[in-house]
Amino acid sequence: MKKLVQIITLASIMLSSSLMQVQAKEEQLDKVAAIVNSSVVLESEVQDLLNNIKTQAKKNNQSLPSDKALRTQVMDKLINDSLILQIGERMGVQVSDAQLDQTIGNMAQENKLTLSQFREAIVNDGNDYEKYRENVRTEIISGEVRRNSVRRRIFVSPQEVSNLLDLMKAQTNNDVEYHLGHILIEFPSDANQEEMTAAKERADKVIELLNNGSDFTKIAIASSGGANALEGGDLGWKNINEMPTLFSELIDGKDKGTVVGPIRTGLGFSIVKVHDIRGRQIVEVEEVNASHILIEPSIILSEEKAEELLQGFLDKINAGEATFEELAKEFSEGPTAVRGGNLGWADPKSYDPVFRDALASMKQGEYHKPFRSSYGWHIIHFHDRRMVDATSQMNQNRAYQILYNRKFGVEGARWIKETRDEAYIEIFEQDKK
């Protein structure tokens, strides 16, 4: 009996030791890189994003800042993603597998690939397809949450639209586009004079480095607090009216390679570089004409009942018992109800991504089965699509969209900064090897 006890004790010690080794190995495989409110950012997520950025930089022959600086930017992005997803969960924003498959299918089409070819290309780039798929889901949810949260902070008055239209008609340089890069040197929202001076000195140092030939993209990735820091601060091609007003006044008429700033804003000091200049490109964009019926779920009307109600409408339409227009006028929620749900001609990119993706595969006269967007449940009656010259449109819709996009960029940055200020965030130092 004594020997048996000894054997059991020894076995227990060996089992305990094995378990500790397994747990230690598990801890080495993954660990918490940051706590974000009630959620966490895992080290594996950090490493995946770092590896993706390094792979893309190698393909594009782009140099990167130090691993420490790059990791800081990656952590910022993942923390922001976590905060936005938490808000999305509270808002009830969801993306079904069917919606996700449709979005990825559209991405494949845009790249002129079949879905299997698109998947193969992702794998050949060294990515795990399932992880890529979930990252797309995260980006869709993040986009919807950001739009829903920021658009309520934006108001564009009819007078602003009228003023911009008058300005655009009078301009002689409206055909010039600038490819811009942007670096934001942030300071706290309640910054004291010492903090402001330190931020200004950092901004002046960045300008000195750029004027001495340093790589803008590399510095932006390392130093910028802007939303597009990991893209090297790339703002894309914009004409004078599409830029923030503070930028346009300084950029107008400048030569390629010009660096302007530091420009003080409510978020920090901005530095802008003119990467290139071109005559405005003639761009054709697709417009679609469709009608929809929107039903918003509530405490009284569940998600399932909203979907059933819309399916019932489709059954009535197909049976010839009612028209889409009649049902929209009677039941649809939102401003289009009085027009029988008609949305008129519009660029599909202006719609909620799920709604846009639903329109992408529809044919003339077709009805779309019930689906969920960030606004609620919809059915669509698709009328037609056409190509139009976007550069020749000098109308209220375009002027409104320019003003809206300007304000969205500013308010979006403020919103995420306020969200971070209100959150509990703890970042753990990386183990030194």
Q: What is the 3-state secondary structure (H, E, C) of 177-246?
A: EEEEEEEEEECCCCCCHHHHHHHHHHHHHHHHHHHCCCCHHHHHHHHCCCCCHHHCCEEEEECHHHCCHH
Residue 326, C-beta contacts closer than 8 angstroms, at least 6 positions apart: 340
Average pLDDT on 289-310 reads 92
What is the reported pLDDT for 395? 66
What is the reported pLDDT for 314? 95
What is the reported pLDDT for 180? 92
Which amino acid, one-letter code, is at 5? V
What is the reported pLDDT for 225? 87
What is the reported pLDDT for 82? 93
Higher pLDDT, 394 or 175: 175
Largest CA distance in the chain: 102
Residues making up the chain, counted from first to last: 433
pLDDT at 389 over 70: no
Q: Which residues pair with 379 in a beta bridge?
A: 293
What is the reported pLDDT for 390? 61
Judge contact between 158 and 211, C-beta under 8 A: no
Alpha carbon distance 161, 31 (integer Å): 51
Indicate the SS3 state at residue 263: strand
pLDDT at 209 over 50: yes
Residue 294: which H helix or E strand, with range? strand 284-295
What is the reported pLDDT for 394? 54
List the strands of the sheet with 367-372, edge to edge: 342-346, 284-295, 377-389, 367-372
Average pLDDT on 2-26 reads 41
Alpha carbon distance 191, 22 (integer Å): 48
What is the reported pLDDT for 28? 52
Mean confidence (pLDDT) of the chain: 84
pLDDT at 366 over 80: yes
The closest of 269, 277, 221 to 246, measured between CA atoms, is 269
Residue labelled with tokens 């420009």: 263
Average pLDDT on 290-307 reads 91
Residue 384: which H helix or E strand, with range? strand 377-389
Residue labelled with tokens 């918003």: 296
The closest of 198, 297, 281 to 238, measured between CA atoms, is 281
Indicate the SS3 state at residue 169: helix
What is the reported pLDDT for 16? 44
Candidate CATH numbers 3.40.1280.10, 3.40.50.2300, 1.10.4030.10, 1.20.1250.20; the one for domain 33-151: 1.10.4030.10
Higher pLDDT, 417 or 173: 417
Candidate CATH numbers 3.30.70.3280, 3.90.1150.10, 1.10.340.30, 3.10.50.40; the one for domain 284-391: 3.10.50.40
**What confidence tier does 276 reach under pLDDT thresholds 50, 70, 90?**
very high
What is the reported pLDDT for 112? 85
Higher pLDDT, 175 or 68: 68
| Distance from the first to the final alpha carbon of the chain | 49
What is the reported pLDDT for 109? 83
Higher pLDDT, 334 or 159: 159
List the strands of the sheet with 259-264, edge to edge: 234-238, 176-186, 268-279, 259-264
Residue labelled with tokens 């970042």: 427
String of DSSP letters for 49-105? HHHHHHHHHHHTT-----HHHHHHHHHHHHHHHHHHHHHHHHHT----HHHHHHHHH
Average pLDDT on 330-349 reads 90
What is the reported pLDDT for 1? 42
- Identical topology for domains 176-279 and 284-391: yes
Give, in order, the Cα–Cα distances in Å from 425 to each of 188, 206, 228, 415, 419.
16, 28, 21, 16, 11
Average pLDDT on 59-83 reads 88
What is the reported pLDDT for 6? 41
Average pLDDT on 45-71 reads 86
Judge contact between 165 and 157, C-beta under 8 A: no
| High-pLDDT (> 90) share of the chain, % | 30
pLDDT at 26 over 80: no
Q: Where are the domains of the chain?
A: 33-151, 176-279, 284-391
pLDDT at 378 over 90: yes
Residue 323, C-beta contacts closer than 8 angstroms, at least 6 positions apart: 317
The closest of 262, 268, 244, 246 to 185, measured between CA atoms, is 268
Exposed/middle/buried for 118, CB within 10 Å: 0-12, 13-18, 19+? Answer: buried
Higher pLDDT, 279 or 85: 85
Residue 131: which H helix or E strand, with range? helix 129-151
Candidate CATH numbers 3.30.1120.80, 3.20.20.20, 3.10.50.40, 3.90.1300.10; the one for domain 176-279: 3.10.50.40
**What confidence tier does 320 reach under pLDDT thresholds 50, 70, 90?**
very high
Long-range contacts of 346-350 (CB under 8 A, 24+ apart): 346/287, 346/288, 346/289, 346/397, 347/285, 347/286, 347/287, 348/286, 348/287, 348/288, 350/401
